[in-house]
Amino acid sequence: MSKQHNLPVEPAHDDTIQCLFFSPKLGSDSLLWGELCLQLNNSIKNLTQDYIWHRDEFIVYAPIIQDANSDLPHHLCSTTCFGDNLEDEWYIVYVILEISKQYKELIIQVKDNDGDFLLIESANFLQSWANPESTENRVFIHDHHIHIIQPEVASLENKLELQEALEIISETPHLTKSSREIQQAILNRIGSYPEKLNEHLHKAVVHIPSDLATLLTMKPSLVAPIVDAYCNHDMIDAKYCKNIDYNDCVTVEIKFTKFLYAMLLHSKLINHAKQYMQTDNNKKKVLGLKLTLGYQIIMSRATNNMFLSKEYDRFLNNLKQNGYFKNNIEGSKEYNNLIEKAHHYYSTVECPVSSNVSQKISKLLALEDFIVVKNSIKNSLVEHLDYGGDNEDWLNVHPQQLNELLHNRYGNKSNLKNDDILTSQRITKELSSFLNKTSDYEGIETTRNEDSDQEIVFESDQFVSCIEKMLNLLSTGEKGGTETEDSEDDFDIMSTNEDDDDDDCDIELRTKLEKGSENLKDDTTVLQNIILSMKEEKASSGPSSNLMSVLGVSKTELLDSDDEQI
């Protein structure tokens, strides 16, 4: 759960969302801030009680050190790593919007490692002045709305200080409320929570030791760190799994997120753990064994006393260097109070995930209800049922479903009309149009700067003509034959003040093209090579897909047209 003491403008780690909660009305009264922190966490708990966090749980806490010299006003904060599941980030935005309706004095700043990601989501509706440099301290959540401080409200000439921004939103919220389009873009991305919760869950029947079954029944969210521990184990973790207690097992229904279930299902079983399967590869037992191994890894990683760990020593030294103990003598009443506060902060905010989870597990094992729940599970009839869990059809996404998903998420940005056919001629025509444009650091422009002297002038029409001639030349199958009369002009596409007497270079270039590009016969082959390049890119972006996207041709459109229209 590694967090940062001194909060940066943006989170220092990837896959992390940072929220700062301000309330100008509370001033610097630490008791009032402590009470607000408790109330917020209670509200968050009520909103998220059925949610399974992929990594960190969303909690709000007061900074353990409030730096009087800091530019940050008094605040509460949360730093949550959502890992690979981006849905956690947007669920947090939903929760923040909900609690901002209840606590109307709150002004909340939300960022991730990309910065103001709320603006990124609503980029299609932003005014031209908004960019990452100009929107610093201008984007907040207040009273269930996105607020953006426009240049008309606070000039862009000088950096807007955070304190000033908070005063503007607190005193004149009607001037900063974002447009309906921006607000709706954010709400559309969040989706229809809390109804949406069930869409992300998957129930599966697994065969696991009764103690683990009891723990997951009492606290279902423990499945996330257990799955993560197994799926991301290393060689040292694997050694912990050579001898495990895979006895006294029961068959129970476990609730996963679809993301976690897919991770666990498709992860490879540790080789030396296969001895526990014998000849039985039943899915319930395979999944159960993986969960058991993940549980073993977590408990093996954790130290007996988290406050004797190296991580805690570093945390404590950081506090000492920042004057946390205020010259109080070690062992004094005030010093002990500060240590107790530091222990609570470390155990809930700073300690490693395995230590945090093992602490929760130890508390559950010590409860009197643990034995009661365990006996109840053993006496249940689940293992005698044929029920195997929820349907798994969602694991298989058909091409049409993927296209619809991408269209709903990103829209259809193609410049091609519905009746246009993605032929080789169409693509090369679009390429020719693209070559008539120039670009600077802000992107493609449709006009060319003619004022500069001594610059290389790119003649796009002549370039296309040259390419066509080369393709025609190569398609004749000549290798080292007689040159055509136009060969001296074929490559005259770059003009400067120098003389163009490069016949030898022309011949050399032609020879290299003949050797390395023999299969570039016509437009169809060029397009096939582009499609092949896109397929090699797989799910990632690359030169070919980036070029086609500029032309208004999406990767999915071109690949879908591969079988029928080329």
145: enclosing H helix or E strand: strand 145-148
Give me the mean pLDDT over the 175-185 stretch.
94
The whole-number pLDDT of residue 236 equals: 87
Greater model confidence, 163 or 517: 163
Non-local CB neighbours of 29 within 8 Å, separated by 6+ positions:
none
Tens digits of residue pLDDT in 18-65: 999 999 888 888 889 999 999 999 999 999 988 999 999 999 999 888
For 212: left if phi > 0, alpha if psi spans -120 to 50, otherwise beta; the answer is alpha
Inter-CA distances, 368 with 211, 220, 373, 375, 387, Å: 14, 18, 9, 12, 31
For residues 230 and 293, give the distance between their C-alpha atoms in angstroms, rounded to a whole number: 6
From 79, 80, 78, select the one nearest 54 (Cα to Cα). Answer: 80
517 contacts 510 by C-beta, under 8 angstroms: no
Tokens of 26: 């509370």
Neighbours of 510 (CB within 10 A): 19
pLDDT of 550 reads: 60
Task: Report the C-alpha gap between 343 and 312 in whole angstroms.
Answer: 9
In whole angstroms, what is the distance from residue 231 CA to residue 266 CA?
9
Q: Are 227 and 263 in contact (CB under 8 A)?
A: yes
The helix or strand, by DSSP H or E, that contains position 455, with its residue range, turns out to be: none
**pLDDT at 435 exceeding the cut of 90:** no
pLDDT value for 322: 85
Q: What are phi and psi of 191, to 5 degrees?
A: 90, -175
* Residue owning tokens 């000439």: 157
Q: Nearest to residue 520, comparing CAs of 564, 461, 476?
A: 476
79 beta partners? 18
Q: What is the pLDDT of residues 119-175, one digit of tens each?
A: 988 988 988 898 888 999 999 999 999 999 999 999 998 889 999 999 999 999 999
Higher pLDDT, 519 or 392: 392
Give pLDDT, residue 44.
Answer: 95
DSSP state of 272: G
- Residue 407's contacts (CB-CB under 8 Å, 6 or more residues apart) are none
Residues linked to residue 80 through DSSP beta bridges, in sequence order: 17
For residue 386, the model assigns a pLDDT of 63
Q: Where are the beta strands (DSSP E) in 210-359?
A: 249-257
Q: DSSP class of residue 269?
A: P
**pLDDT score for 415:** 46
Neighbouring residues of 292: CB distance < 8 A, sequence distance ≥ 6: 208, 209, 212, 244, 246
pLDDT in tens, 374-388: 999 988 755 445 667
> What percent of the chain has a predicted confidence (pLDDT) above 90?
36
How many helices (DSSP H) and strands (DSSP E) are in the chain?
22, 11
What confidence category does residue 367 fall into, taking pLDDT thresholds of 50, 70 and 90?
very high
Q: What CA–CA distances, in Å, run from 196 to 15, 146, 163, 185, 193?
A: 22, 22, 37, 17, 5
Torsion of CA 286, 292, 296, 298, to 10 degrees: 100
Q: Which of 557, 539, 548, 530 is nearest to 412 (CA)?
A: 557
What does the alpha-carbon distance between residue 254 and residue 150 come to, in Å, rounded to a whole number?
49
207 and 284 in contact (C-beta within 8 Å)?
A: yes
Model confidence band, residue 421 (pLDDT cutoffs 50, 70, 90): low
**Domain positions in the chain:** 16-190, 200-309+351-393, 403-560
Q: Vertex 277, ends 212 and 387: CA angle to 5°?
A: 65
Per-residue pLDDT, averaged over 358-381, amounts to 89
Q: Which residues contact 508 (CB under 8 A, 6 or more apart)?
A: none
What is each CA distance from 485 to 132, 365, 490, 501, 521, in whole angstroms? Answer: 55, 90, 10, 15, 21
Mean pLDDT over the full length of the chain: 79
Q: Helix (H, G, I), strand (E, B), or coil: what is residue 373? A: helix
Q: How far apart are CA 77 and CA 7, in angstroms?
A: 9
| pLDDT number for residue 54 | 93
Q: Parallel, antiparallel, or unpaired for β 139-142 and 16-22?
A: unpaired
Between residues 554 and 300, which one has the greater pLDDT?
Answer: 300
pTM for this model (two decimals): 0.70
Instruction: Compute the distance between CA of residue 558 and CA of residue 420 in angstroms, rounded to an integer.
Output: 12
Alpha-carbon gap, residue 156 to 308, rounded angstroms: 50
